[in-house]
Structure 1
């Protein structure tokens, strides 16, 4: 990156010469901890050698450019960028100066375990490695470089990383769990929750998804500068067919906001999520004549019970304001949220509340508000969930929820073209799968 063509050529010739000298020198000593220094020292010890560690002059026969040696480091669980550099022979004072300059332009606290950092040292004399630069790609896709400009000074360059995006279409059939079936179809497991959330307003995945259901997904793969896979990107389109009905979702971006619409142009988002937990089972439905498991007599069950392990996160079914977050008789630890003039939701038998949850607090749809438990009058860990319409409890699994609008007329033609394009990609993917099965 820093060497000119002539430096690279000179370096190659010089290293070759030095290695030959080391091989023939009886007094050359190994330096396992400083391989570059060993090469320089052996060359200088060779009597009559004309090689000099100088960066000036134009005579390649008696000059040598400085050698740059890079060390690839990785941030550990208990590391900071500062401790990582110091542990790898960067002087404490230089580390402090370099990071002081960096923190003016970049927040190093966002770096996480596993972060790769490249530290470059410059050798001009044996056993005298001088810090030259620090380089890394941040988790925010920023290209960060700290270059040494003097004995104790540094300059920082922050740029945008050059990434590539490719679009992938996959199709599959659910023959066991959604996770396992997605994995078989080569859908990254990290995208499965996002896929499920696209249909969370319409489907209860514990009740509505059965073996034989089919799915299709188009998603982004993000590649680095070398074309290597870096991470999964957004889901661009998804389709799920179960019990003879097809549900779909297509991603659009307008004014910087991403939303999903059905192929008919309706916004996927609803006032409330159909279920406030991920991948659980319904242990008791809304039933006006249910025999109560604790009290032993018939008592209306005006909610839906979701069996789940203690500690499972509970999500707010929609945007709103918390009306109540306290102990509530047989309900145990209880939360009630007012979403608008029409809808409220209630959550009972919690083991604990999420941090900051209290009456008067505003919450967003999907935000964790508490955790499954068995407080109050309960026979085991589960969530008792209620939907109230104008203050009256209704069947949460059957209530009709209003949609969030339609694709705007001016963008409808472009939207329909996108839908047609993605459906064609799925057809091609299915044909490829069939051809592979036949072979």
Structure 2
């Protein structure tokens, strides 16, 4: 602006002898209008908050849940001189601190560690039933603290999930408790990739998050043993939701449709949400992708010993039958039940070390041995869901290294879990068939398009071991 005015002044002096009185007034008017116009078009602050700033709702969808008055004694910070000059608080001078919750943490612990008095917050949490969320902090989640220019706590935010947060805000001599609900914008994205080294590495390179990769394993884990069956040149295509908040991605949503080409075989899964909002996955013909048993009890492990009638035992130094499959994995790796059932026995099993036997029905039972420890609270008679963690990989009993020994029994007879043919998991409900057929047609057409390139690459490299 100063340069424009200066230029106009120079211009005016150079040609003053040619400007009559009216022209001088017109020039002055032009300068005034130019300054007004430039002021109007100067860009305002960007609506996008800084990377580390707390992102509020716009407008905030909040529900006031309660308040508590702040006494003058508790409103001051211990150690602050009484005669310290109070500085007027402005939003740009306030300070946000983000704290990751540790195991066993309470709100008082977090506040005390960060130099804040916790007394009044503690009284509010104990006296207001709506504040019970603050009594059960979950490790790994975050608390955000906003301090004023004088260091006093102005706001405490507990984000219980990507779309939900609880606020304790200082306002007019008391703290108000509100719950904030965010409505995300949902977008649909797709990712394709080819297996070169491992699903995790190649999935990440293609743009899949770890959580999305695990979802993909859960969907296709009924047909593909990701520890045994993967080959270089296998390919995957995923159509999924992404959740956005004010233009920024905050989380992944559900997988809507997916394809996995494994050793030349193509598997597809289409998501369907029922009337209760529960999402299940089906093949395009309406058959459930779920099976009675998972293919493997340990995700992303490797097979160190297979089912055989004669194997040299590394500890006993003799040949004997090996009536199960060994999955080598680091100590502490979670072990999951391959099907729902009840714990038949749990404890020490001689050469098996720490062992769990699960009875799934009158026909099937499974054995999990050499565990380092059991899941807390698990006992004889406990019911476990399919895929639920029941213990952790170890090397107890007659084991030369950390691994899981897994047995599969049919009517008391040991069978090879890698080759046993399991029945399917049923079909989609009759009342949903027409709607699902429409969805399956739409998503299958999109998978045909986005997966074409990866399928061509897969056909060239199919069968190559990793």
Structures share fold, TM-score greater than 0.5 = yes
The superposition leaves residues 137-182 of structure 1 with CA deviations (integer Å, 9 ceiling, x where unpaired) of 432622433344543x333222421212211111110011111111
Query: Could you say if the C-alpha distance between residues 101 and 67 of structure 1 is closer, same or farther in structure 2, counting changes exceeding 3 Å?
Result: farther
Deviation at 1:292, TM superposition (A): 3.6
The superposition leaves residues 271-311 of structure 1 with CA deviations (integer Å, 9 ceiling, x where unpaired) of 21111001111122211233444444442222112122222
Deviation at 1:382, TM superposition (A): 1.9
Query: Could you say if the C-alpha distance between residues 324 and 94 of structure 1 is closer, same or farther in structure 2, counting changes exceeding 3 Å?
Result: closer
Counterpart CA distance in 1 for 2:87 and 2:366 is 73
Q: Residue 15 of structure 1 aligns with which residue?
A: none
Q: Residue 168 of structure 2 aligns with which residue?
A: 146
Deviation at 1:236, TM superposition (A): 2.0
Q: Residue 95 of structure 1 aligns with which residue?
A: 121
Kindly indicate whether residue 265 of structure 2 is the aligned counterpart of residue 238 of structure 1. Answer: no
SS in 1 for 2:322: coil
Alignment of 1:166-205 (within 5 A): 166-205=187-226
Deviation at 1:414, TM superposition (A): 1.6
More displaced stretch, 369-378 vs 233-242: 369-378
- TM-score w.r.t. structure 2 length? 0.70
More displaced stretch, 139-148 vs 377-386: 139-148
Kindly indicate whether residue 96 of structure 2 is the aligned counterpart of residue 72 of structure 1. Answer: yes
Query: Could you say if the C-alpha distance between residues 195 and 129 of structure 1 is closer, same or farther in structure 2, counting changes exceeding 3 Å?
Result: closer
Query: Could you say if the C-alpha distance between residues 138 and 297 of structure 1 is closer, same or farther in structure 2, counting changes exceeding 3 Å?
Result: closer
Counterpart CA distance in 2 for 1:245 and 1:200 is 14
Alignment of 1:228-377 (within 5 A): 228-254=248-274, 255-377=276-398
Q: Residue 157 of structure 1 aligns with which residue?
A: 178
Deviation at 1:116, TM superposition (A): 5.3
The answer to whether the Cα contact below 8 Å between 1:310 and 1:381 also exists between their aligned partners in 2 is yes
By relative contact order (CA 8 Å, sep 6+), the higher-ranking structure is 2
Query: Could you say if the C-alpha distance between residues 92 and 38 of structure 1 is closer, same or farther in structure 2, counting changes exceeding 3 Å?
Result: closer
Query: Could you say if the C-alpha distance between residues 139 and 166 of structure 1 is closer, same or farther in structure 2, counting changes exceeding 3 Å?
Result: same
Counterpart CA distance in 1 for 2:306 and 2:338 is 18
Deviation at 1:120, TM superposition (A): 6.9
Alignment of 1:2-21 (within 5 A): none
Q: Residue 119 of structure 1 aligns with which residue?
A: 146
Query: Could you say if the C-alpha distance between residues 155 and 304 of structure 1 is closer, same or farther in structure 2, counting changes exceeding 3 Å?
Result: same
Kindly indicate whether residue 420 of structure 2 is the aligned counterpart of residue 399 of structure 1. Answer: yes
The answer to whether the Cα contact below 8 Å between 1:342 and 1:389 also exists between their aligned partners in 2 is yes
Kindly indicate whether residue 126 of structure 2 is the aligned counterpart of residue 104 of structure 1. Answer: no
The answer to whether the Cα contact below 8 Å between 2:162 and 2:251 also exists between their aligned partners in 1 is no
Counterpart CA distance in 2 for 1:381 and 1:131 is 49
Q: Residue 418 of structure 1 aligns with which residue?
A: 439
Q: Residue 221 of structure 1 aligns with which residue?
A: 242
Deviation at 1:250, TM superposition (A): 1.9
Q: CA RMSD of the aligned region, Å?
A: 3.0
SS in 2 for 1:289: strand
Aligned residues: 366
Query: Could you say if the C-alpha distance between residues 84 and 358 of structure 1 is closer, same or farther in structure 2, counting changes exceeding 3 Å?
Result: closer
**Unaligned regions of 5+ residues in structure 1, if any?**
1-36, 41-65, 122-126, 435-439
More displaced stretch, 343-352 vs 85-94: 85-94
Counterpart CA distance in 1 for 2:401 and 2:329 is 9
SS in 2 for 1:196: helix
Query: Could you say if the C-alpha distance between residues 87 and 95 of structure 1 is closer, same or farther in structure 2, counting changes exceeding 3 Å?
Result: farther
Deviation at 1:378, TM superposition (A): 2.8
Deviation at 1:90, TM superposition (A): 5.6
SS in 2 for 1:365: coil
The superposition leaves residues 187-217 of structure 1 with CA deviations (integer Å, 9 ceiling, x where unpaired) of 1123212211212222211221110001111
The answer to whether the Cα contact below 8 Å between 2:366 and 2:406 also exists between their aligned partners in 1 is yes
The superposition leaves residues 5-62 of structure 1 with CA deviations (integer Å, 9 ceiling, x where unpaired) of xxxxxxxxxxxxxxxxxxxxxxxxxxxxxxxx7986xxxxxxxxxxxxxxxxxxxxxx
Counterpart CA distance in 2 for 1:113 and 1:206 is 29
Query: Could you say if the C-alpha distance between residues 130 and 403 of structure 1 is closer, same or farther in structure 2, counting changes exceeding 3 Å?
Result: same
More displaced stretch, 104-113 vs 367-376: 104-113
Counterpart CA distance in 2 for 1:376 and 1:136 is 45
Q: Residue 73 of structure 2 aligns with which residue?
A: none
